[in-house]
Structure 1
Amino acid sequence: MPLRNRLRLLAVSGLALFTVAASLPPAVADASHTRHPSGGGLSAVIRYTEYGIPHIVAKDYADLGFGNGWAQAADQVCTLADGFVTLRGERSRYFGPDAAPDGSLSSATSNLSSDLYFRGVQDSGTVEKLLTVPAPAGQSHDVKELERGWAAGYNAWLKQNRIGDPACRGADWVRPVTMLDVATRAFALSVLGGQGRGIDGITAAQPPTGAPASPGVPPGEAAKAAQRLLSTQNADMGSNAVAFRGSTTANGRGLLLGNPHYPWQGGRRFWQSQQTIPGELNVAGGSLLGSATVSIGHNANIAWSHTVATGVTLNLHQLALDPTDPTAYLVDGRPERMVKRTVSVEVKGGAPVTRTQWWTRYGPVVTSLGAGLPLPWTATTAYAVNDPNTTNLRSADTGLGFSKARSTADIQAALRRTQGLPWVNTVAADSAGHSFFSQSQVLPRITDDLAQRCSTPLGRATYPSSGLAVLDGSRSDCALGSDPDAVQPGIFGPGRMPTVKDAPYVENSNDSAWLTNADAPLTGYERVFGTIGTPRSMRTRGAIEDVSAMAAKGRLTVGDLQEQQYANRAPAGDRAAADLARACAALPDGTAAGSDGRAVDVSAACDVLARWDRKFDNGSRGALLFDRFWRRATAGSAAELWKVPFSPTDPVRTPHTLNTAAPRVTAALADAVAELRAAGIAPDAPLGANQVVVRNGKRIPVGGGTESLGVWNKTEPVWDAAAGGYTEISAGSSYIQAVGWDGSSCPVARTLLTYSQSSNPNSPHYSDQTELFSGERWVTSRFCEKDIARSPALRVVRVREHR
């Protein structure tokens, strides 16, 4: 239909497209002045363009939230509903107590553990109390209106539509939600990196009954366990982001490439939209499911992304217990009784389960953090976990502040004003040519001085190595204290945050802020924020090489960002493949001993490794062989893998030179060759033949590589030899955006949602962007009105409550 006729049809139909009147064709602009179309209920207009991307327009925040909740339900109702079952503490009721939740909203290893925690949150009124806290320490009125509208929109979609997704069609656990449910989801995400890590230990904690408790992990082993614990978050939630200053670009304006690495399934998926309130808000980007604001995105003047930060969002307090009562602890010699909370959970096919949880002035008693760090509750000692994000519901206000920003200075102002981000860094660029990085997190106020004065023997081992502080809870002078500019007690204020402004580039790939710009290392922050002078990940090293070379080349455009995203260079391959190929060719009789001692003919692999293009493109031959080798080779000590060790004076280039004399190197090669041979996969098979996702029976090749390879385009595939290699992606590149400006009123933006908008296999948007990702293509952002109106896929839906 011609554009003129299409706009006339919209006006005649009375579709109120509440968009910025100055930028609209006259017929549509007139419609924006009509009275509220729903007779008092909430409503919005949703314009869908290619790939099912909704452009939501509303007259106020409640209506915008309504359109957002409606559109998210249309694409992701089953995933959202499953998450709300978690938040209500009802997984055991519907799915049984022993199954494991998907991990999107907590670290719980069983439904029962998850339910006991979240029922405790509900029963104690934790989130209700936070909703009464006035801004800036609590949520703003605008965010509360967004959340109220989101719940109404989700409910309206449920009421007015039939679920077509087989994952929850006809399920009795799909129910309407409340604003409290939406806020509880924000709470769960806020504590994910802190208290959320200890859910099993919180719900299992019980006073000693006379039998001696198992001893804790020795301090040295505890330090290693804490390092493992605090690095696992990056396994499924990492990211890369880079912002370039105008001095490096072709037109003097800023550029941003955001490449967050998040789960491909479950409740931490992104969902893409544009949100508009005329004259108030106009932003596009990706939102975490269930969120009412844009998490990562751009508007006409600013673009931002996040990376998972190294700041440790929790700490432990070691309690000295009253000798006569293990549920009382001593502070300055005086006993304080723990608070006992009794929680009951309904269980499918069985009687309700009732457990107690024990709380202190510092937080809940915890008997473990992850599987490798037991914290036994004995007759003399217990541990309580402190997470300042348990009083932080401000992340949506931070996101809303970003959405309305016009410059990187506004981004910094929003971070200072709201202090809402629990576990991410922020990287941003603006149309005036500024670049910006800040590790502005809500962190417990653990100064190095406090850790020095107040660490227990366990803390003296864990804090230097991992940033996990274990403080003496028996001393009031070991309290965390406050910074005068902090929005809540017990956290660092904005003035303490590691920040870099207007460097030629600022980049982060989930290492600390130290090498945000490698030409001017950032120092002077407390250990709890991250390390200085320590080895960087292979992904950080490769990223710094790439972006520093781009900045030095100059005259950058959005096209250069697009090339970087899909370059698929494997820094590990650049550093090790040639040495490995030479060592392979020098093996007597072309055989090497595997880890089981058996001789394996690896001769066919030598030439494959030598010829490999050092990339993880779909057509790269030898990539899969190197991948399977590298996973084994890097399983042990890094010090044994390289001949030249790490040097803090050369952190990007060291360590280097593969130690081919190490038995584990040739054993890893033998095992990889044997594994591929057993699976019927040739050593020179192209990566895309054996690294795929299967959608509705179709195999879709996926490029990129795993964390240890250092590939910017991170892909964490799931190995299934019987099915022919990698046949699913657990996590990796997710909502990607490359953004710049050309002087017009419209940003130059290319986006991609790698796993597509909908998890419903019956949706036309179940795998359409995944196909684009496979072909290394992009979606051109339709941000301005003229671009939306020109979409050949334009579909306009007016949604409202039926009261």
Structure 2
Amino acid sequence: MIWVKRGAFALVGVLVLAVVGLASWEPFFASAANAPGQGRVYSAEIIRDDFGVPHIYGKTDADTAYGVAIAHAEDDFFTLQDVVAMARGRYGAIAGEDGARVDYVYHLIDARGTAEREYPKLPADTRALFEAYAAGLNQYAAKHPGEVKLANLFPVAGIDVAAGFALRQPFFFGLDSVIGPLVAGEDLRREHGPDIPGFPRDPLPVAAPAPATARQQARALVLPLGEDAEHLGSNAFAVAPQKGGGTTTLISNSHQPLRGGVAWYELVVESGEGWHFAGANFPGSPFPFLGHNEHLGWTNTVNTPDMIDVYQLEVDESGMHYRLDGEWRDLESRWVTLPVKVGPVVLPIRREVLRSVHGPVIRNDKGAFAIRYGGIGRLEQLDAYYRINKATSFEEWEAQLARLAIPSTNFIYADKTGTIAYVYNAAIPARPEGVEANWRSVLPGDRSDLIWQGAVDYAALPRIVNPASGWLYNSNNTPFTAAGSGSDLDPQAFSPVMGIELKQTNRSWRAYKLLSEARVLDRKTLEAIKYDTGYERLGYVARLFDGLETMEARGRLAEARDLLLSWDFTADGKGRADALALLVIRDFMSADYSNKPFPDVTEKLGAASDHLMTHFGRLDPPMGELLRLRQGGLDLPLDGGSDTLRASTTWDVAEDGRLSLKHGDSFIMWIEWQPGQRVTSRSVQPFGAATTRPRSPHYTDQMRLFVDHRLKPVYFWRDDLLAKASSRRTVTSAR
């Protein structure tokens, strides 16, 4: 019996060693970065205003970037670490299976390889910005070891930050809508327009539908990178002085998740080298992505041109060779280790990553499919964003956009001279005209003439400068409605091969109508438009209500149908049917945005009715009791719908049945140039400057402003800031 006991003890010892090994292998396996800025001392002054928004001053631009990292880490080091882990292919060690899916995509699209090839080619001053930012992150991590989530995550270098940009950039034009279905073996659904060659009405056949669990896994592939495409949204407005009562106005109303790696962070940067900009960035960026300087400003909305081509490869029996122009070529293959946190241990999961000359390759039951997308393998956007931060005129600003270094997103622009502009910015693939191919379908992978290089010329893109109407807008709609009747572009003037979207959103219909009807677009009128909660009975909304009118129902379902039919098409929280409409409409909007089948009206109405009866005991609770903005101990009512200009797009359903907003109106910035005066701006965040610091006074201090449709001052100018400063200190790096 002694040997049995000894054997048992030995087995326990082996198991303990195994657990210890699985709990500790990943940090040692991960490659460490060299600490940047050796011998370089950075210094920045961080002044926080009365809402805790940081204003970072440095002698050089690099000093300021260093201060940006310190200030952001003070407010949200929790999220910054997630972003750094994604940028190093280690997110699964923090977020488990969902994180490992992000890590797989990181390897699939070769984010690290892109950074290693392209980062050294960037101008020295741009690289200096990223090295300084990395130094700031490293310093904060070293001084606060108790906050670090993952061993050996720091130090990081500028190239690591750059790899994070390479990972994220293709998802803003919908790469998730291709990778997810290919992994799951689903049909691809691509946006199209009626009666235009190259825009098929049906989903593109790629593979048989997969089980629901596989579909869910595919959708989860990229969700941690940002909200999925079916819920994308943003509004942007620019008004010229002749239409705005003498004032030039730019309104930034980007819709992003309220928390996480693509949530906006507000800041003002200034340096002795002429960099002075107020706006917002995402975690992991040394500069703002939108906002204004003294001379000009811009904001962005997501656009969805056809930036992605899919090729079906002809492979041999081994599956490791593909045919191109009659010759067999080797598929590039490498194995990667994905860390997957499961409870207290991190499992090493091996996955194969494939690549052809086209781009990344995904296998499913139907074969091997290669993906090629606009901006593939490029990283110049790091430099372009830095340059437009410092532009002083429309010509300087547009010269940077003309590089097509920023792969996608609409730009709405305004400046102190009264110039306003809309640019449908996109590095659309330069597909050869006249080649026999259906670019909106799956392409044959055995023809090299279908493997395009580079992007179309900037001059080929839709663009409007100083329209006669005096206004411009975009609400994730086609660029062919942007400036009003007589000022809009003709879609027939643009090649259908470019795949420019023709879709409209309810926000677009509302904005176009309200802007066109207004005699003067002064501040009061623009506020009414920006916070508008109305729906037009058009598109998916019309189809939904047509279905309600013909729907047969009894009992409570009939009561719900009749209540919804009485709705005034306004999600202002005042009508009896607002809560029911809020619950019903979102899935129809989602299906329309992502080209999915139209939902069953009876099913969706029944589900919404059941939810309201279960949690509120009635079909008509006030919408403000249902839709909430929640953070810490604050729990406030909200207005707006899933596709209204006042956007409350998606939410988490809490145990009490309330809907806690997670995506929609987020950072709002209102910029004005008045005659003879220097630029002024106002802004608001849904929560506050310190979104993950519950003990901070700035954890929730903007929530009441946000729900009340109010904005706070932006202290762009130093003399204004010093009068409202809540703290002021200098941070310096160690030599």
TM-score w.r.t. the length of structure 2 is 0.80
Q: Does 1:543 align with 2:511?
A: yes
1:339 CA displacement? 1.7
2:117 match: 129
1:303 match: 297
1:421 match: 406
1:156 CA displacement? 1.5
In structure 1, distance between residues paired with 2:186 and 2:510: 42
Residue in structure 2 matching 1:249, options 238, 244, 247: 244
Contact 2:83 2:283 in 1 (8 A): no
Cα deviation 1:199-244 (Å, max 9, x = unaligned): 5689x79xxxxxxxx8988998643899x99998543432111212
Residue in structure 1 matching 2:638, options 702, 705, 719: 702
Residue in structure 2 matching 1:498, options 457, 462, 465: 462
Residue in structure 1 matching 2:430, options 425, 438, 445: 445
1:246 is paired with a residue of what secondary structure? Answer: coil
What code does the residue aligned with 1:742 have? Q
2:233 match: 238
In structure 2, distance between residues paired with 1:690 and 1:220: 37
The 5-angstrom pairing of residues 94-133 of structure 1 reads 94-96=94-96, 99-101=97-99, 111=100, 113-119=101-107, 125-133=113-121
2:626 match: 690
1:683 CA displacement? 3.7
Residue in structure 2 matching 1:569, options 525, 534, 540: 534
Residue in structure 1 matching 2:204, options 189, 214, 223: 223
Residue in structure 2 matching 1:712, options 637, 642, 645: 645
The 5-angstrom pairing of residues 414-563 of structure 1 reads 414-416=400-402, 418-446=403-431, 449-450=434-435, 453-455=436-438, 463=440, 470-481=442-453, 490-503=454-467, 504-519=470-485, 520-523=488-491, 524-527=493-496, 529-531=498-500, 534=502, 536-550=504-518, 553-554=519-520, 556-563=521-528
Contact 1:558 1:740 in 2 (8 A): no
Q: Does 1:366 align with 2:362?
A: yes
What code does the residue aligned with 1:794 have? S
In structure 2, distance between residues paired with 1:161 and 1:351: 27
1:729 is paired with a residue of what secondary structure? Answer: strand
1:549 CA displacement? 2.3
In structure 1, distance between residues paired with 2:260 and 2:428: 27
Contact 1:561 1:738 in 2 (8 A): no
1:702 CA displacement? 2.2
Q: Which structure 1 residue ranges, 5 or more long, are not aligned?
A: 1-37, 102-110, 134-138, 206-213, 368-373, 464-468, 482-489, 639-661
In structure 2, distance between residues paired with 1:215 and 1:580: 30
1:628 match: 583
Contact 1:620 1:686 in 2 (8 A): yes
Q: Does 1:404 align with 2:390?
A: yes
What code does the residue aligned with 2:424 have? Q
1:69 CA displacement? 0.7
1:802 is paired with a residue of what secondary structure? Answer: coil
In structure 2, distance between residues paired with 1:81 and 1:286: 19
2:348 match: 352
In structure 2, distance between residues paired with 1:668 and 1:629: 6
Distance 1:634 1:319, change over 3 A: closer
1:7 match: none
What code does the residue aligned with 1:310 have? T
1:66 CA displacement? 0.3
Q: Does 1:69 align with 2:69?
A: yes
In structure 2, distance between residues paired with 1:262 and 1:558: 24
Cα deviation 1:348-398 (Å, max 9, x = unaligned): 54663333222111112123xxxxxx6732xxxx32111242322222322
My pick for the range that moved more, 626-635 or 70-79, is: 626-635
What code does the residue aligned with 1:543 have? A
The 5-angstrom pairing of residues 661-676 of structure 1 reads 669=605, 672-676=608-612
1:180 match: 159
1:741 match: 673
1:478 CA displacement? 2.6
The 5-angstrom pairing of residues 27-66 of structure 1 reads 41-66=41-66
Contact 2:250 2:672 in 1 (8 A): yes
Cα deviation 1:237-267 (Å, max 9, x = unaligned): 321112122321211x422112111111210
1:289 is paired with a residue of what secondary structure? Answer: coil
Q: Does 1:330 align with 2:319?
A: no
1:191 is paired with a residue of what secondary structure? Answer: helix
Distance 1:719 1:783, change over 3 A: closer
1:515 is paired with a residue of what secondary structure? Answer: coil
1:276 is paired with a residue of what secondary structure? Answer: strand
1:152 match: 135
Distance 1:141 1:695, change over 3 A: same
1:195 CA displacement? 5.3
In structure 2, distance between residues paired with 1:122 and 1:314: 16
In structure 1, distance between residues paired with 2:262 and 2:583: 28
1:539 CA displacement? 1.9
Contact 2:306 2:500 in 1 (8 A): no
In structure 2, distance between residues paired with 1:721 and 1:195: 30
**How many residues are paired up?**
659
Contact 2:248 2:674 in 1 (8 A): no
1:159 is paired with a residue of what secondary structure? Answer: helix
In structure 1, distance between residues paired with 2:656 and 2:337: 43
Cα deviation 1:95-143 (Å, max 9, x = unaligned): 44xx313xxxxxxxxx2x333443567797331111122xxxxx33222
In structure 1, distance between residues paired with 2:696 and 2:589: 40
What code does the residue aligned with 1:442 have? A
What code does the residue aligned with 1:329 have? Y
What code does the residue aligned with 2:531 have? Y
2:305 is paired with a residue of what secondary structure? Answer: coil
Contact 1:406 1:430 in 2 (8 A): no
1:783 match: 716
1:209 match: none
1:777 CA displacement? 1.0
1:283 CA displacement? 0.8
1:47 CA displacement? 0.9
What code does the residue aligned with 1:437 have? Y
Contact 1:190 1:390 in 2 (8 A): no
Cα deviation 1:749-771 (Å, max 9, x = unaligned): 12112243223222222222222
TM-score w.r.t. the length of structure 1 is 0.74
My pick for the range that moved more, 59-68 or 623-632, is: 623-632
Distance 1:779 1:613, change over 3 A: farther
What code does the residue aligned with 1:705 have? G
What code does the residue aligned with 1:326 have? G
1:268 is paired with a residue of what secondary structure? Answer: coil
Contact 2:52 2:726 in 1 (8 A): no
Contact 1:313 1:422 in 2 (8 A): no
Cα deviation 1:129-185 (Å, max 9, x = unaligned): 11122xxxxx3322211111111111122223476xxxx566647633221221111
Cα deviation 1:262-319 (Å, max 9, x = unaligned): 1112100111111111351211001111111110101122121001012132212232
Distance 1:531 1:440, change over 3 A: closer
